[in-house]
Structure 1
Amino acid sequence: MVPSIMEEKLFRFVLPAALILGSPVLAQDAINPSGLSGPSGRPYSPYAERAYPTQVYFGDTHVHTGLSGDAGGGGTRLMPHDAYRFARGEEVVSNTGQPVKLSMPLDFFMITDHSDAMGAITDIIGGAPNILADEQGRYFHEEFNKGGEAALAAALELTAAFAQGQVSPALNYQPGNPAYARVWDDIIDAAEQYNDPGVFSTFIAYEWTSLVAGNNLHRNVIFRDGPELTRKILPYTTTPPVGSPNPRDLWKWLENYEQTTGGRVLAIPHNGNLSNGWMFPLVDDFADSVPLDPAYAEARNKWERLYEPTQIKGDGEAHPFLSPDDEFADFETWDYGNLDASVPKEPEMLPGEYARSGLLRGLSLEKALGVNPFKFGLGGASDTHTGLTAPDNDNFFGKFTGYEPSEERSQHVSKTYADGAVALLSSQYITGGLTAVWAQENSREAIWDAMHRRETYATTGPRMRVRMFGGFSFTEEDALRRDLALVGYTKGVPMGGDLDPGEGAPSFLVYALRDPMGANLDRIQIIKGWLDADGEQQEKVYDVAWSGSREPDGAGKLPSVGTTVDLSIPSWTNTIGASELGTVWEDPDFDPSESAFYYARVIEIPTPRWTAYDAVKFGINMPDGIQLTTQERAYTSPIWYSPQQ
């Protein structure tokens, strides 16, 4: 869709983000106590009687400190208190002795140290008697205390041993161990100490790290509650007989937590790209591959409201093999195999791994089971194991302590296959993403509630502001409104919502404002997935708003925005692209009998990647094949359409 002349006017100027995207909004049934209102029945002030989320908050939902075995073992000495201070904007000293600080503080933060072996790593490093009495314990104690490359290699070795079920019980602390409960109390205490509603919200959380023969099924468990409820339980693990690697058992644990405490909790899966097809299955891999049943669909729909498609271990929105017509699908793609590289990737695994294909599978399963198990919103995160959430390419502190800034970090072999062949290079790690949440206030409760209703979007790091609404009565003029939230909530539903059948085809009001300190925007796209009349999965990417005077060619392809990147600095200029983009787009291929989902993808102009900054800061020449530029992006949670039953 080519932007209209009226829309072009919108793109040429910028109002403050607080006015554009933070516009207070009014519920349709809000009462006007003064009686002073216009023909619409609303008060003159657009800021009066607001009843919808008006602010966007940025945070990290996935952070590991030195309390996680694979972090502490690899040399991470920053603990939860350090991570919280860094995230709220303080300068800290990194694990390798370097001063580090964020360009801007985060709004909310979740430390998600592993539940399995909670409390063990300090005993391993310190050489507790029970550890040294175990052969494997002595080995890891010695390797971790060597530091540097040896410690990093040992941390990766420990991860591989855990993935294959080869960690000694002496190291794999479980509930019932005094150290386990003590560390959980410490985690809760730290979250409470740094929780500052209105300024910086922290959450009590942990990671349930299911690894079935190396296939990644990790979930981050996020509580809405404070210490009075979360102290009543101990985190669930993946190790029998106390725990289980089966997600169904995790969901039962979540149900039990809510029933016994009256609290609220949800789980966020991540890194399907390392699951070898297990993340979005069509059959139950824990029950002889029988087809999924309604109980599975209902439980996953209830507990897993969000999915993490982008983080340090690659981007998992789409894959070029699955989406060959999507020119932006091959973004920071990791497809070497499962987490520990024990099984190489095969093409037939891919549909069970990526967010877009997972959403499509959800439509098919809903048709068969009556419930969509993969009806998830989107959020980004870091999965840092340094305690440092550093999502900017010019400030990247790596996945592990061994990959904190150094001349050598971009040229390591990170993972190998069983035959010694290279599976992953350290240069393929990417900066972590962020979760953006539309909420009424910066508080633990309001942010958790927004996540639960899926009013979120993922970014690959930049703090761009993105709104998306779906409805049946948006007009082109709505894209010109500066009270965007009022229009969106009055006429439609926000990202993460459901569209009931209406008159004609659905339309979508979408708007994006660049990161104030970041790059201009190239384009906004809407990705549609649907089931056709034969029940076959279909997808299409639509360019709906873009910068400049570009015109699609005869095949409908929009020309590249170009580049202004100067790798010698490195930097870029915002002389191309747009500071804001927005439009109303109506689905030209709509069939009211077909179930569908829609989400927006916002793409920046090219900018330097962290490897380019390393090249200049350390004065090194990067080997051929190392990627030096990137196009950062955001993905909104979908809006779903279901035909009238």
Structure 2
Amino acid sequence: MGRTRSIGRRPGWTAGPAHGHARAGVAAFVAASAALSVATVSLARADDALPQLFFGDLHLHTSNSLDANLFNNFTLGPDVAYRFAKGEAVQLPDRRRAKLDRPLDFLMVSDHAEYLGVFSMIRRKDPRVAGSETATKVSRFIAENPVFGPEQIGKLTSLLVGDPLGADPALRRAVWDEVVDVAEQMYEPGRFTTFVGYEWGSMPNGNNLHRNVIFRDGADRAKKILPFSAIDSGEPEALWKFLARYERETGGQAFAIPHNSNLSNGLMFATVDSAGKPIDATYARARARYEPVVEVTQIKGDSETHPFLSPDDEFADYERWDKTNIAGTARTLPEMHVGSYARAALKTGLLLERLIGVNPYRFAMIGSTDSHTSLATADEKNYWGKTANMHLGTDRSKGEFIHSSDPAGQATMNWEQAAAGYVGVWAGANTREAIFDALRRGETYSTTGPRIAVLFFGGWRFGDVDAGSSNVARAGYVKGVPMGSDLPAPIADQKTPTFLLSVAKDPVGANLERIQIVKGWVDAAGRAQEKVFDVERAPDVKGLREISAVWTDPDFDGAQPAFYYARVLEVATPRWNAIDATRFRRKLEPGTRVTQQERAYTSPIWYRPPAAAAGAARAAEPGSGKPAQASSAGQNAD
């Protein structure tokens, strides 16, 4: 299969400074166990001109979010969230202290735009809202509903439809300016990056269409707007128009990051627009421009793929949330999965590009937490729950998280929460501009929590010598392109693509069990196919600390468009609920999962046949409005 392995070699990473102290690279960890005492992992490539690896979270809620506040996060605001992410110990309302075992490099507080900060103000009887009709309605509803879940959130949201306080421009301006100011105060370029952002919470009929909006900019531009919320419009197309207007009027940059497609009941990656019309090139261009990244793993489950879609993938059944939509108002049916998972969406994108010349689903993949506790932790041993009423130490694995209002549906239980995930990004510096640009170009990947270091390159002339190189990163950039890129045109006499991977375990995490490449393509009959290839596996159950390999596609057809991404699996480890049971001497709920294989997914590398690439370049220009006719019937698993 044209592959090779280099174990225990240094893949070209060296120690890099961060948080005011030197941080050990992965290779140094292999050579010296002293690296285990280092507070966090930041991997810098040997050449300072090449990017460094940073880890962070782009999806975190504080007491400013309506639902976080209703779930008992009354007082932990954005300032606490940033301090926790920096590695500080923070005090919780119950007087306990919480602390990350290793600091993060960046964080975006993404509180819900809908009623941003209003419920926190009502709780503390802020004079700007005290005595208002909204405060009265909310206080009465809280008193009548002592236990909150997504169903109650939906009812309260419906109760507040048309409420003037949520649309009060003066109040919204005051809260938004405070949000921006805290992000500015906590930003330390080169040391810790904060992003201004928020969450847009569209949820038609209880189906999740949420997006997080991330800005490249600071207060000088971000304060010129107010967050565009689902109260303004629940259609993604309207959000993209807002982002375009922001860029046009301020000179800034922003994009949206969809998440929890697994709870959308097929709407997130549909082949029709919000009006039910087939996607055309205009829609596809806007989506590709303003949604270049998708969050594929987090607390509310994993959205890489599903066993129904990928029956031959033995690792497809991972942290599934597939019983209902996000509100529990409708069951999830098998035929909905094709529009709910990232791998299927990448395949749909190939089909759509053949039809309309533009791929709306050409996206990078990241993880984040979506924690509503203000605590950005994805560590199984230090998991503080999805919400503040599920903090460490409570009997939190019991009970329902999403109640199904469909009599034939099933509830999603609290123990099904996943302690996940984080973003890994290769950027030139720990700054807003550098990290944002790396995200947009796709040089980023998803991890379910462990800080696994992953390099993934595609090209036409990688060989065994590159996998064994003392500087894999340099070889990758010199001979190929990184994750998130299109393969360059084939080189003469090199007609089959080769891929260079170098992976190192989290220095304080589990060993590596295997690395794989997931390929999707459109065959000669016009059907989307997929296949998972094992590139390297550990020789025993102990696993490996590092793996470097070159892989050649054995089934490549230069006439067929394709994508490739790497998936890295750790050896099996206990889930947070099993750790809880041992720590607090509690019995596990019947039927619960107690182990898992944590993992990382890179962003894809795409191959376009020369003719298709030329056609796509023409279609990417404004003017083409040809509608798409792709359907789930065009998807197959090989």
TM over 0.5: yes
- Per-residue displacement from partner, 1:567-593 (whole Å, max 9, x unpaired)? xxxxxxxxx000001100000000000
2:86 — aligned with what?
88
1:323-342 paired onto structure 2 within 5 Å: 323-342=310-329
Q: Quick check: 1:169 aligned with 2:162? A: yes
Tell me how far apart the structure 1 counterparts of residues 10 and 441 of structure 2 sit (CA, whole Å): 30
Counterpart residue number, 1:355: 342
Alignment equivalent of 2:221, drawn from 229, 235, 244: 229
Letter in 2 for 1:355: A
Q: How does 1:292-307 map to 2 (within 5 A)?
A: 292-307=279-294
CA separation of 1:15 and 1:303: change in aligned 2, threshold 3 A = closer
Choose the corresponding residue for 1:61, options 33, 36, 58.
58
Match of 1:367 in 2: 354
Residues 281, 435 of structure 1: CA spacing in aligned structure 2 closer, same or farther, 3 A cutoff?
same
CA contact (8 A) 1:74 1:144 kept: no
Aligned to 1:359, what secondary structure does the other structure show?
helix
Q: Which residue identity is paired with 2:538? A: S
Q: CA separation in 1, counterparts of 2:412 and 2:375?
A: 22
Indicate the SS of the match to 1:486: helix
Give 1:530's aligned residue: 521
2:439 to 423, 436, 451: 451
Q: What SS is found at the alignment partner of 2:242?
A: helix
Answer whether contact 2:3 2:550 (CA < 8 A) is retained.
no
Distance of 2:154 and 2:116 partners within structure 1: 17
Pair 1:618-2:587 in alignment: no
Note the alpha carbon deviations across 1:288-328, whole angstroms, 9 max, x for none: x2211111100001111100000000011010000000000
Task: Say which SS state the counterpart of residue 496 (structure 1) adopts.
Answer: coil
Give CA-to-partner distance per residue, 1:218-238, whole Å, 9 cap, x none.
111100101001111111011
For the aligned residue pairs, the C-alpha RMSD in angstroms reads 2.2
Show CA shifts across 1:39-74 (max 9, x none). xxxxxxx956x5432x10000000000000001122
Residue 119 (str. 1) matches residue 111 (str. 2): no
Paired residues of 1:528 and 1:541 also in contact (CA < 8 A): yes
1:15 Cα deviation (Å)? 7.4
Deviation at 1:478, TM superposition (A): 0.8
Match of 1:556 in 2: none
SS at match of 2:457: strand
Report the residue type matching 1:138 in the other structure: T
SS of 1:509's equivalent in the other structure is strand
List per-residue Cα deviations over 1:463-512 (Å, max 9, x = no partner): 01000000001011110002111110111100000013313110000110
Measure how far apart 1:155 and its partner are: 5.5
1:497 corresponds to which of 452, 460, 485? 485
Structure 1 pair 200–132 and aligned structure 2 pair: CA distance change class (3 A): same
The 3-state SS of whatever aligns with 1:410 is coil
Cα distance in 2 for residues equivalent to 1:419 and 1:532: 39
Deviations 1:327-363 (A, max 9, x none): 0000001101111010100111000000100100000
**Counterpart position of 1:567:** none
How far the C-alpha of 1:141 sits from its partner, in A, is 1.6
The aligned counterpart of 1:184 is: 176
Kindly provide the CA deviation profile for residues 355-389 of structure 1, in whole angstroms up to 9, marking residues without a partner as x.
10010000011111100000000110000111001
TM-score by length of 2: 0.87
Which residue of 2 is the match for residue 203 of structure 1? 195
CA distance 1:168–1:298, change in 2 (3 Å): closer
Q: Relative to 1, partners in 2 of residues 1:389 and 1:171: Cα closer, same or farther, differing over 3 Å?
A: farther
Q: Structure 1 residues 261, 3: closer, same or farther in 2, change over 3 A?
A: closer
Contact 1:437 1:457 (C-alpha < 8 Å) held by counterparts:
yes
Identity of aligned residues (%): 45
Equivalent in the alignment of 1:18 = 14
Q: Once the 2 structures are TM-superposed, how far is the Cα of residue 143 of structure 1 from its aligned partner?
A: 5.5
Q: Give the superposition deviation at 1:208.
A: 0.8
**In the TM superposition, what whole-angstrom CA distance separates every residue of 1:388-428 from its partner, at most 9, and x where no partner exists?**
01110000001111111234210112222225664110000
- Following TM superposition, by how much is the alpha carbon of 1:117 offset from its aligned partner in structure 2, in angstroms? 1.0
How do residues 25-104 of structure 1 correspond to structure 2 at under 5 angstroms?
51-53=49-51, 55-76=52-73, 77-104=75-102
Q: Residue 483 of structure 1 aligns to which amino acid in structure 2? A: N
| Separation (CA, whole Å) in 2 of partners of 1:229 and 1:369 | 35
Q: Distance in 2 between matches of 1:389 and 1:357?
A: 29
3-state SS, counterpart of residue 425 of structure 2: strand
Give the number of aligned pairs: 580
* Helix, strand or coil at the partner of 1:589: coil
- Tell me how far 1:535 sits from its aligned partner: 0.9
Q: Deviations over 1:2-31 (max 9, x none)?
A: 965xx3xx21456794269989xxxxxxxx
The aligned runs of 1:364-443 (5 Å cut-off) are 364-419=351-406, 422-443=410-431
Q: Distance in 2 between matches of 1:272 and 1:610?
A: 23
Report the secondary structure of 1:510's partner residue: strand
Is the CA contact 1:119–1:179 (under 8 Å) kept in the aligned structure 2?
no
In the other structure, the counterpart of 2:512 is: 521
Pairing partner for 1:642 from 590, 596, 608: 608
Q: Answer yes or no: is the 8 Å Cα contact 1:601–1:635 preserved in 2.
A: yes
Which residue of structure 1 lines up, in the alignment, with residue 555 of structure 2?
A: 589
Question: Alpha-carbon deviations, 1:173-216, whole Å to 9, x = none?
Answer: 12x43221111011111101110011110011011111111111
* Higher relative contact order, chain-length normalized (CA < 8 Å, sep 6+): 2
Which whole-Å CA distance do the structure 1 matches of 2:586 and 2:86 have between them?
33
- Partners of 1:310 and 1:96 in 2: CA distance: 30
Instruction: Please name the residue that 1:465 is paired with.
Output: 453
Q: Which amino acid aligns with 1:418?
A: S
Cα distance between partner residues in 1 of 2:509 and 2:46? 28
Q: Which consecutive residues of structure 2, in runs of 5 or more, have no partner in the other structure?
A: 17-23, 27-44, 612-638
Does the 8 Å CA contact 1:603/1:634 hold for their aligned counterparts? yes
- Asked if the contact 1:525–1:542 (Cα under 8 Å) also holds between the matched residues in 2, the reply is yes
TM-score normalised by the chain length of structure 1: 0.86
Counterpart in 2 of 1:506? 497
Q: 1:129-154 CA deviation, whole Å, 9 max, x = no partner?
A: 967664x75353245479xxx65x33
2:289 partner amino acid: K
Q: In the alignment, which residue of structure 2 is the partner of 1:194?
A: 186
CA distance in 2: counterparts of 1:487 and 1:581, whole angstroms:
16
Residues 217, 96 of structure 1: CA spacing in aligned structure 2 closer, same or farther, 3 A cutoff? farther
Partner Cα separation in structure 2 for residue 358 and residue 527 of structure 1: 14
Secondary structure of 1:398 counterpart:
coil
Distance 1:536 1:472 in 2: 26
- Conserved 8 A contact 1:384-1:432: no
1:474 corresponds to? 462
Change in CA separation of 1:640 and 1:259 when aligned onto 2, cut-off 3 Å: same
Q: Secondary structure at the match of 2:57?
A: strand
Deviations 1:425-449 (A, max 9, x none): 0000111200011011111110011
- Pick one of 302, 327, 343 that aligns with 1:315: 302
Give the aligned partner of residue 136 of structure 2.
Answer: 138
Per-residue deviation, 1:283: 1.2
Cα distance 1:344–1:97, how it changes in 2: closer, same or farther (>3 A)?
farther
Task: Go from structure 1 to structure 2 and tell me whether the alpha carbon gap of 1:623 and 1:492 turns closer, same or farther (over 3 Å shift).
Answer: same
**SS across alignment from 2:426:** strand
Paired with 2:295 and 2:226, the residues of 1 have a C-alpha distance of: 24
Aligned with 2:166: secondary structure?
coil
Q: Is the 8 A contact 2:12 2:474 kept in 1?
A: no
C-alpha separation in 1, matches of 2:378 and 2:370: 11
AA aligned opposite 1:585: W
Name the counterpart of 2:574: 608
Give 2:234's aligned residue. 245
Q: Measure the CA separation in 2 of the matches of 1:416 and 1:171.
A: 30
Structure 1 unaligned spans of 5+: 24-45, 549-560, 563-575
- 1:267 paired with 2:276, answer no
When residues 422 and 125 of structure 1 are mapped into structure 2, their CA distance, relative to the original with a 3 A threshold, is farther
